[in-house]
Structure 1
Amino acid sequence: MKDGHIHTPYCPHGSKDSLENYIENAVKAGYSALTFTEHAPLPASFTDPAPAGDSSMDIKDLENYLADLNQLQKKYQNDLTILKGLEVDYIEGYEKEITSFLETYGPELDDSILSVHFLKGGRAWYCIDYSPDMFKEAAEDFGSVEALYHSYYETLSQSVITPLGTYKPKRIGHMTLVRKFQELYPGPENWQAYASRFLTLAKEHGFELDYNGAGTKKPHCKETYPPLAIAREASSMGIPLIYGSDAHTASALKQGWDTVDQSLVKPWRR
């Protein structure tokens, strides 16, 4: 079993559970491999729209993060495979800075994720998964929930087709994150058409998908990212699905695993 999406104490909106706590829990849970994918530092010229400015790791912590993982790879090499990674944000208009970052740190990484959390409206930038209030504000700015979904999938598509250099991640994180508050703000009836078109693009460009269990634990979502029908559609197209707990605490490892269709998950081989 591999978990390809795990956060760490370097996450300012996560827990302070130690890296070793995560690893020991993973061993107990029967993991064969895991990827630590801390939120990569945001471009210096981008202002984090989260009120606390806590969406990502501080650039000053990045070298320590990588050094810690190098040490732990050696310490636990007989127990499980530990991969060094980052969850990199695609932010429209900041492609040059993202590419420069990846060219600098990409050679040190084993496995990473490319995600969309931030959308630019007419009035402001929004972190669409931050809170129901921010999602509502974003939908009002875009004109409707449907317009917000449209922008999300347009931006997600741009993340796939935009050149970001040699070390661009090849796995898309939580491709239905826009549905985090779907019980409060239901998606448009045609939202699955957006998702299906995106899958075609992901397949054409050779991307994997993060089959993410975190949404099952979100009180207004209660489904995996992506939900079962979309996951099965992706699998039928030959798109690899990599399970991700998206854990922000050590106890959250394996979250949603009992909800995902495990037959769709790409098996891990050492």
Structure 2
Amino acid sequence: MNIHDGHVHTPYCPHGTLDSLAAYCEKAIQLGRSGITFTEHAPLPANFNDPTPKQDSAMKHTELTSYIDDINVLKKEYSQQLTIFTGLEIDFIVGYEEETEALLAEFGPFLDDSILSVHFLKIKDNYLCLDYSPEVFAEAVNRVGSVDRLHQLYYETVLKSVTSHLGTYKPKRIGHMTLVQKFSKRFPTEMSHLQIIKSILNEMKTRGYSLDYNGAGVIKPLCKEPYPFYEVIELAQNMNIPLVYGSDAHQVKELSNGFEQILYTNLLLTSDNLYRKQ
């Protein structure tokens, strides 16, 4: 089966490992992948204060040129074995749309592909990194009043990411759409949020966007399901929204994150609805 891993991190990730770009390529070949997209966390806006303790959510702006150059070298070295795309995982942060558009305008011409993701939520006048830890998630729940209100805020932010104008180079794929489920076994919801999820999918369909079928959630002990979960995947498939397998690997050994669980379900992926370069 022709499987492209569309969500792979690199040694440029400050909260990842130092596993080399070449090591990711070798492992992808070993796994039988047809290609990979390197999607490192893009630099955050200079005037945005990263709320994580070590402020290590993303690569530095000064590293972007080297990142792109390093991947271009690999494209030539592995041209006969692996399709390699240069990408970024772009953070959508409410209130920083102009800065994000400026970054995309600067570096978008050098990218083959990108993902648009929500990690940071604005709660009143402060931002929290939603998926950093169960403790931070609990703090977010306390600030908004309930788990369900936090889910609603997250999905409202994802919807804004889809509908916001971020310029010519805005990513056309939405990353780990149900990331708010990461700690769901400790923080279960009391109500369904499928209505707003359907609204997100409708907006994606209108714009011709694809969906990150992310296996990382499968290995998270408080999640144990892909992002998005199977009911949402079925909705997306019924709407003919393209699905892109992504391991969301932050180290070489994670390149197959959730792959078997995704592949061997009644929602079997085929090469017809996997990655196509936008």
TM over 0.5: yes
- State the distance in 1 between where 2:6 and 2:163 align: 22
1:123 and 1:141 in contact (8 A); partners too: no
2:11 to 9, 20, 23: 9
* TM-score calculated relative to the size of structure 1: 0.97
Q: Which AA in structure 2 matches 1:263? A: L
Aligned counterpart, 2:91: 89
Structure 1 position 201, deviation (Å): 1.7
Aligned counterpart, 1:237: 239
1:235 and 1:264 in contact (8 A); partners too: no
Aligned counterpart, 2:147: 145
The unaligned stretches of length 5 or more in structure 1 are none
- State the distance in 1 between where 2:241 and 2:110 align: 26
Aligned counterpart, 2:63: 61
Moved more, 118-127 or 51-60: 118-127
1:112 and 1:170 in contact (8 A); partners too: yes
Aligned counterpart, 1:79: 81
Q: Secondary structure at the match of 2:138?
A: helix
- State the distance in 2 between where 1:150 and 1:12 align: 30
Aligned counterpart, 2:224: 222
- State the distance in 1 between where 2:276 and 2:185 align: 38
2:214 to 193, 212, 215: 212
Aligned counterpart, 2:248: 246
- State the distance in 2 between where 1:14 and 1:39 align: 11
Percent identity of paired positions between Structure 1 and Structure 2? 51
- State the distance in 2 between where 1:164 and 1:268 align: 22
Q: Which AA in structure 2 matches 1:81? A: T
Structure 1 position 135, deviation (Å): 0.4
How many residues are matched? 270
Aligned counterpart, 2:269: 263
- State the distance in 2 between where 1:255 and 1:262 align: 16
2:243 and 2:275 in contact (8 A); partners too: no
1:128 correspondence with 2:134: no
How big is the alpha-carbon RMSD for the aligned residues of Structure 1 and Structure 2? 1.3
Aligned counterpart, 1:158: 160
Q: Secondary structure at the match of 2:222?
A: coil
2:210 and 2:243 in contact (8 A); partners too: yes
1:241 and 1:264 in contact (8 A); partners too: no
Q: How far does the alpha carbon of each residue in 1:81-133 deviate from its partner, in whole angstroms, 9 at most, with x for none? A: 00000000010110111000000000000010000000011252100000000
1:112 to 111, 114, 120: 114
* TM-score calculated relative to the size of structure 2: 0.94
Structure 1 position 232, deviation (Å): 1.0
1:102 correspondence with 2:108: no
2:188 to 169, 186, 190: 186
2:90 and 2:117 in contact (8 A); partners too: yes
Q: How far does the alpha carbon of each residue in 1:230-266 deviate from its partner, in whole angstroms, 9 at most, with x for none? A: 1011011010000000000001112101111432662
Aligned counterpart, 2:175: 173
The unaligned stretches of length 5 or more in structure 2 are none
